[in-house]
Amino acid sequence: MEALVCRKLGDPTTPPDSSESTALTISKSHPIPTLTSPTSIRVRIKSTSLNYANYLQIQGKYQEKFPLPFVPGSDYSGVVESVGPNVTKFKVGDRVCSLANTGTFAQYIVADEKDLYGVPDGCDLVAAAALPVAYGTTHVALVHRANLKPGQVLLVLGAAGGVGLAAVQIGKICGATVVAAARGTEKVEFLKSMGVDYVVDVSKEGVIDSVRAFLKTKKLKGVDVLYDPVGGKLTKESMKLLNWGAQILVIGFASGEVPLIPVNIALVKNWTIHGLYWGSYKWNNPSILEDSLKELLSWLARGLITINISRSYKLQQANLAFLDIRDRKIIGKLMITFDDPKTVTSKL
């Protein structure tokens, strides 16, 4: 099968195989994975999502390190291609989605049936591949950890990115007043079209004065929940908007700078700081992930959430997708899609 392989740590924006020293290479004869247990299932991948975490993994800057060589990739969707003898939940031809530590930038993957989720009728299969990491992270953060309530004020940083758009939509479903911070006119206008209550363009104005002015018009005191996948200076500024008893959700550091949160102020203002490493739930509390993804798939099927696919690429163009991530040219999600590999044959 065809697979994108990280053979050495390095820059994922460099075209695969453009020199002998590139981090990424396209393997056209990568071994098709075999079923590993009586309850395992092989999935023919339709689409897989690119996340900021993948960008960091290939550079060796992510919190998890993978032995080289490895096939990157995390959340995916596809069609069941073969099943183990004890599989009861799925059959060949069923549409599924899931997540993995690695291995989704390839035409096939093997997973245990307990780790797969059926994609309901009415759900686009490519959209389902964008759901687990970005929307799963956000759902666990806002619903499970912060327990976001109707009437609360939610401030979303980096609101036009994958997790940011998820936070905007889930915030509205929870009944919150959603304030979004993004960079550039195109992103601001898109967020307005999503029904955000207020958007600040951080390329043109400071977040503090702009958001305070909006809150004053609504007779609101401040921000109750800060959703932060950005870090850096923007985090520091946003903390000045937080109410007493506010909650800070630490999602990531797309700015490249880990912010320092003054714990003395957190003490005085009774702030709660949630670190949210979503992937660790798979080992420590998998039932939370299962319940979360089932609810998200239900929302997707009912049209309560929509997945904005910014661009889709073929496997050979993965470096272009990573360039988009690096240069922050994304509104929503980036995907790698596979044609139905009719010429590929597999063996158990």
Render pLDDT for 1-33 as a digit per residue (tens, 0 to 9).
Answer: 999 999 999 999 999 999 989 999 999 999 999
What H or E segment, with its residue span, contains residue 190?
A: helix 185-193
Quick check: 120 and 94 in contact, CB under 8 A? Answer: no
pLDDT digits (tens, 9 = 90+) for 69-82: 999 999 999 999 99
* pLDDT in the model for residue 343: 35
Reported confidence tier of residue 347, pLDDT bands at 50, 70, 90: very low
Distances (CA, A) of 219 to 23, 200, 214, 248: 53, 18, 9, 22
What H or E segment, with its residue span, contains residue 166?
A: helix 162-173
Amino acid at 217: T
Torsion, Cα 218 223 225 230, to 10 degrees, reads: 110
Task: Average the pLDDT over 308-315 and give the result.
Answer: 92
The mean pLDDT value of the chain amounts to 93
Lowest mean pLDDT among 147-156, 158-167, 277-286, 315-324: 277-286
Look-up of token digits 């999600």: 333
Supply 28's token pair: 């056209």
